[in-house]
Amino acid sequence: MTKGKGSLWAKRSVALLAIGSLVSMFGVVSNADASSGKKVTITFWTSYSTSETPTLEQTLIPAFEKANPNITVKHVVFSHDDLYQKLLTSAMTNTLPDVVRSDLPWVPTFAQGKVFAQLDGKMAGFDKLAKTVYPGTLSTNYYGGHYYGLPLDTNTRVMFANMDAFAKAGITTVPKTFADMLADAPLLKAQGIYLYGDGGTGGWNVLPWIWSAGGAITNSTNTTAKGYINGAKTVSAIQFLADLYKAGAIPDSMLGASGGMSTYDGVAKGNYAMTLDGPWMNPIWGGGYPNFHPVEALVPAGAGGSSSVVGGEDINITAQSKNKPAAMAFVRFMLSKSAQVAMTKAGQLSVLSALSKQVTAIHPYYATFLKQLGTAKARTPVPNYSKIDSIIGTEVAAAMSGKVTAQAAMDEAAAQIEPLLK
Interacting residues toward another protein by CB under 8 A = 43, 47, 49-50, 76-82, 84-86, 88-95, 97, 109, 113-115, 252-253, 255-262, 264-265, 269, 271, 277-278, 280-281, 284, 287-290, 386-387, 390, 393-394, 397-398
> From CA 273, how far away is CA 284, in angstroms rounded?
18
What's the min distance (Å) between Cβ of 199 and another protein?
9
Alpha carbon 16 to its chain centroid, in Å, reads: 58
Alpha carbon 171 to its chain centroid, in Å, reads: 34
What's the min distance (Å) between Cβ of 394 and another protein?
5
Beta carbons within 8 Å of 389's beta carbon, 6+ residues apart: 105, 202, 203, 204, 379
The smaller minimum CB distance to another protein, of residues 222 and 386, is found at 386
Q: By the 8 A CB rule, do 45 and 76 touch?
A: yes
> From CA 345, how far away is CA 8, in angstroms rounded?
72
The smaller minimum CB distance to another protein, of residues 331 and 396, is found at 396
The smaller minimum CB distance to another protein, of residues 5 and 322, is found at 322
Nearest to 315 by CA among 302, 298, 332, 301: 332
What's the min distance (Å) between Cβ of 84 and another protein?
8
What's the min distance (Å) between Cβ of 409 and another protein?
11
Buried b / exposed e along 21-59 (16+ C-beta atoms within 10 A)? eeeeeeeeeeeeeeeeeeebebbbbbbbbeebeebbeeb
The smaller minimum CB distance to another protein, of residues 187 and 261, is found at 261
> From CA 397, how far away is CA 385, in angstroms rounded?
18
Nearest to 388 by CA among 366, 350, 344, 420: 420
The smaller minimum CB distance to another protein, of residues 190 and 257, is found at 257
SS3 content of the chain, % helix, strand, coil (to 5): 50, 15, 35
H or E segment to which residue 331 belongs: helix 324-334
What's the min distance (Å) between Cβ of 328 and another protein?
22
The smaller minimum CB distance to another protein, of residues 216 and 349, is found at 349
What's the min distance (Å) between Cβ of 169 and another protein?
19
Which residues are bridge partners to 272 per DSSP?
194
The smaller minimum CB distance to another protein, of residues 275 and 336, is found at 275
What's the min distance (Å) between Cβ of 157 and another protein?
12
